Structure 1
Amino acid sequence: MLEGLATAVNHRRWFVELALPYLGDNPIEIGSGLGDYAIEWAPFLERFTATEADPDRLVALKERLASEPTIEVRQMLLPNTEQGDYSAAVSYNVLEHIEDHVGALRSMRNLVRPGGAIVLIVPAFEFAMSPADIATGHVRRYTKKTMRAALDEAGLEIETLHYANALGLLGYYMATSVFRLMPKEGPMVKVYDTLVLPVTKAAERVVRPPFGQSVFAVARVPS
């Protein structure tokens, strides 16, 4: 779904900015897809590790990032038992695909050094679960309450938890649940990304909305 929205440049840059203060010097991304976020984050970091679970997509990811000297690409499927010393684990729109999401969060915790951050974006509100969600393998959507519960159960210390992109939720619900459309590139996405998204971003810097298309969360690994 996100690969079909590659022209939503302002949307992607907003979410890039949200994570940057928490990534540290050597983060790992869980579920990098085709590397859109990795390419945006890498210039600000000493090292970056991009991962992908799907073998075919992993090949495409390695090909795309082959010219990026600071990015390591590897396969990773969560949950797992690997231990690491990364400065942070960042995962955007991945946790909603994983049945054992608490187990996946514990795996991220084990990959990150004490005091490091787990940075997440997940889709918000079960009422917005649509045929598009089901077609792309979503098993749940979140609220702040359910995200908090999962992070607490995984033994993480919540630092930041809020909704993002309020107007995007309304647009997504109308497009996918009312009109039964699949998100894809086109004039509607371009208009939204060019005209609506900057206004939404500016407003949410001043006032946190009570709802949004996504839940943004930052939690710390206990020292």
Structure 2
Amino acid sequence: MAELTGDQQVQSEVLEGLATAVNHRRWFVELALPYLGDNPIEIGSGLGDYALEWAAHLPRFTATEADPERLISLKERLSVEPKIEVREMLLPHGEQGNYSAAVSYNVLEHIEDHVGALRSMRELVRPGGAIVLIVPAFQFAMSQADIATGHVRRYTRKTMRDALEAAGLRVEKLHYANALGLLGYYMATSVFKLMPKEGPMVKLYDTLVLPATKAAEQVVRPPFGQSVFAVARVPE
């Protein structure tokens, strides 16, 4: 196996650290489930944590990864899951598909041509199917941690809507998520210059703060958040 580059190593460490935030992941799993249909494809599956949780609720699921080294690990981890197909995918591309939905969490911010990437997702999904996204929010929160993990931008609801509409998609749902997470992320990465890796602060937030944040945001949508959640439809 080839040695990981510096950026790949940082990305892997962050993914491994965030994998311990179980409550956070389950919240975001629940957000997407109503829109995935019977045969979705995930763009940028990383370590496969989301794929495993979504696939438990679905008859079929396709996980993808662009990074060759991470793809090997993903195939090894998911090889015992008969419902999950694993394949390589790099966006943008010209492939046509008939998936019920495309879901992509914290991937679009890595891609320079994000409108082209969204068009590629649209072409993978049958008419009427959904594109389900989570991306990091607010450019002021762009930090060295973002740059080290390959982020080229962060989003607002407006910039996310603009990108979706430019890709020929119809926006169905668009809101911020995890308001307190934005404050915590900004303090950790911009003020204290930390990386969002596994540690006691991540576990403390996930165990004590996250459940209350989730409950509150199910009642009232916040005007800001750590992430933008978006659902858009492929035109009929």
Q: Taking structure 1 as the reference length, what is the TM-score of the superposition?
A: 0.99
Q: Quick check: 1:159 aligned with 2:172?
A: yes
Q: Alignment partner for residue 126 of structure 1, among 126, 130, 139?
A: 139
Q: Quick check: 1:50 aligned with 2:63?
A: yes
Match of 2:80 in 1: 67
Match of 2:157 in 1: 144
How far apart, CA to CA, are the structure 2 residues paired with 1:132 and 1:39? 27
Preserved CA contact (<8 Å) 2:135 2:154: yes
Aligned AA (1:60): S
Aligned AA (1:121): I
How far apart, CA to CA, are the structure 2 residues paired with 1:20 and 1:2? 21
Q: How many residues align?
A: 223
Q: Quick check: 1:12 aligned with 2:25?
A: yes
Aligned AA (1:36): D
Matches for 1:50-199 after TM superposition, within 5 Å: 50-199=63-212
**Residue deviations 1:117-150, cap 9 Å, x none?**
0000000000000000000000000000000000
Aligned AA (1:48): F
How far apart, CA to CA, are the structure 1 residues paired with 2:100 and 2:18? 29
How far apart, CA to CA, are the structure 2 residues paired with 1:209 and 1:12? 19
- The runs of at least 4 aligned residues of structure 1 exceeding 4 Å deviation read none
Q: Alignment partner for residue 39 of structure 1, among 52, 57, 72?
A: 52
Match of 1:26 in 2: 39
**Residue deviations 1:76-123, cap 9 Å, x none?**
000000000000000000000000000000000000000000000000
Q: Secondary structure at the match of 1:78?
A: coil
How far apart, CA to CA, are the structure 2 residues paired with 1:127 and 1:47? 39
Q: Which runs of 5+ in 1 are unaligned?
A: none
How far apart, CA to CA, are the structure 2 residues paired with 1:205 and 1:106? 30
- Percent identity (aligned): 87
Q: Taking structure 2 as the reference length, what is the TM-score of the superposition?
A: 0.94
Kindly state the Cα deviation for residue 4 of structure 1 after the two structures are TM-superposed: 1.8
**Residue deviations 1:41-68, cap 9 Å, x none?**
0011110000000111100000000000
Q: Quick check: 1:220 aligned with 2:220?
A: no
